[in-house]
Structure 1
Amino acid sequence: MKKKLLLVGSFTLFITLLFFVPTNYPSILPVFQLTEKPSVISKGTYGKTVTIDLTFGKEEIETLLKDLKAPYPHFFVSIEWLERSEPIIKSMQDKHIPIGLLGQDGAAYIEDPVLFQKEIDQFEKVMGEKPLWFRPKDYQFPMELQDVAWEHEVNLLSSSKYWDDEVPVLTKGDVLSVPLHQEERVDIKQLTKLLNSQSFLSIEQNIFGLKMNTKTFPE
């Protein structure tokens, strides 16, 4: 009897979602094309999100990942770091840590129109799928880059706050960028302290306000 009721309830829920899911978006999560035309997202609505730009480091990153707990920050990694760090990438994938692509400076995509395609192909070769999110290292998004990213079904993310000398004060909707480069680098201990100090949301949760829960029902 319980199973029959569960089936009826599930069918009813399916029909309800079928008619009331917003038509603006082709799917739930993960999702592509959060805007109706080529554009750059820099801020959410429902919480705070930490993103990490990663181009350099091994032991420090392994230490960071070892103690990292969900909800995870969103890593944007360069192709060069990606290709020389496959064991670390495997560890990140096992923990379901979100990984996007950190590109070169924005002007490079004007000078070389096929550069974006090359980087997407390299990312997919290592990761097994193309990135859902992309940002250039200098946070410059020329229209040529916006157009080609749209064609390849990749979302562009900037940020509303950047960790420079001091930790920025975050407010609701903020997307924080954290640099982990050889020439510009946040202290890993300070970063870990920040990540453990408060609750953060994924990019998609910050934009849509979605929260997924699981519940076990007795037989």
Structure 2
Amino acid sequence: MNHFYVIGLRRRKSWVIIIALALFTSLFIWTQKDAVLSVFSNEKPTALSKGNTDEPAIALTFNISWGEERALDILEQLENENVQATFFVSGEWAERHPKILEQISEGEHELGMMGYRYKSYLDQDIEQVRKDLLYARDIFKKLGYEDINLLRTPSGHFNEEVMELAESLDFDVIHWNINPNDWENPGTSVIVDKVMKDTSNGDIILFHASDAAKQTADALKTILPGLKNKGFEPVTISELINQAHAETNPVE
């Protein structure tokens, strides 16, 4: 009698363990699925720094905060290769150069903002940052651009407080993970080599289109066809996000 009781107990324990493992496995798969499909974390605000590593899509992004000469050269190179990019511009620059802004839009490129003044948000009181963002939004609306919700913070500087503010104002903060430092003008070949060597699936590449970036347009003559030859597909940031499997870079 005792013999059968022990056997029955062992079998019952085995079934309990099997059921528990099955439930744990199902829960793990479900949570991982949600994590992969979520572009922005529900736990705390995050900045997008890379897209789906399983897809060959990459995003070329350009920052502009002053000048007008280099932007036109860069737009020409993008048009020659039929590439759409995302331009992050300061409100102050947009206000001064509405015609170039119009050319960017007419070229079917995407627009994002860098606030109004190009000044690090870490050097400002958070309420001043709020005023800067709201004023920039008003400027873009007056220029006819109503739905700009992509934000790149000046110099890429942000902390959790800035991220929470951006989220409360319905901005998606966009960072990058490939930076050839083209604004330093290290040489066209250096810019080309950095991008061609380091770019992989889902990357967000940071370029500059302000007048300080004197070598970027020439570098693009090699970079744009070179990336296509390697099988990459240049897309806008919104397209990268819409691929649903985008990863995020949490604020440390």
For the aligned residue pairs, the C-alpha RMSD in angstroms reads: 2.4
Q: 2:202 aligns with which of 169, 173, 185?
A: 173
Match of 1:162 in 2: 179
Structure 2 counterpart of 1:105, which letter?
Answer: S
Counterpart code for 1:66? E
Residue pairs, 1:191-202, within 5 angstroms: 191-197=220-226, 198=228, 199-202=233-236
Q: Does 1:106 align with 2:121?
A: yes
Deviation (angstroms), 1:56: 2.6
Distance 2:114 2:70 in 1: 19
Q: In the alignment, which residue of structure 1 is the partner of 2:152?
A: 135
Native 8 Å contact 1:55 1:81 kept in 2: yes
User: Does the 8 A contact of 1:56 with 1:182 survive in 2?
Assistant: yes
User: What is the aligned partner in structure 2 of residue 73 from structure 1?
Assistant: 85
Residue 171 of structure 1, CA deviation: 0.8
**Percent of aligned pairs with the same amino acid:** 21
Task: Tell me the distance in 2 between the aligned counterparts of 1:125 and 1:100.
Answer: 15
| Letter matched to residue 187 of structure 1 | T
Of 176-185 and 134-143, more deviation after overlay is shown by 176-185
After TM superposition, the score normalised by the length of structure 1 is 0.71
Is 1:83 the counterpart of 2:90 in the alignment? no
Partners in 2 of 1:121 and 1:62 — Cα distance?
A: 25
**Distance change in 2, residues 1:175/1:98 (3 Å):** same
Larger Rg: 2
Rate the CA distance shift 1:176–1:155 in 2: closer, same or farther, 3 A: same
- Is 1:117 paired with 2:134? yes
Q: Which moved more, 1:78-87 or 1:100-109?
A: 100-109
After superposition, the C-alpha distances for 1:4-42 in whole angstroms (9 at most, x for unaligned) are xxxxxxxxxxxxxxxxxxxx8xxxxxxxx8443522111
In the TM superposition, what is the alpha-carbon distance from 1:174 to its structure 2 partner? 1.0
Q: 1:185 offset after TM fit, Å? A: 5.0
Q: Show structure 1 runs of 5+ residues with no match.
A: 1-23, 25-32, 211-219
**Greater shift after overlay, 33-42 or 114-123?**
33-42
Provide the aligned length of Structure 1 versus Structure 2: 179
- State which of 204, 209, 212 in structure 1 corresponds to 2:238: 204
Per-residue CA deviation, residues 136-172 of structure 1 (Å, 9 max, x unaligned), is: 1211112222122112211000001112243322011
Q: How does 1:43-82 map to 2 (within 5 A)?
A: 43-45=50-52, 46=55, 47-69=57-79, 70-82=82-94
5 Å matches for 1:26-37? 34-36=40-42, 37=44
Alpha-carbon offset, residue 191 of structure 1: 2.5
Given that 1:51 and 1:76 are in contact with CA atoms closer than 8 Å, whether structure 2 keeps it comes out as yes
Question: Which residue number corresponds to residue 14 of structure 1?
Answer: none
- In structure 2, relative to structure 1, the CA distance for the partners of 1:127 and 1:141 (3 Å cut) is farther
Give the gaps of 5 or more residues in structure 2: 1-33, 245-252
State the TM-score, normalized to the length of structure 2.
Answer: 0.62
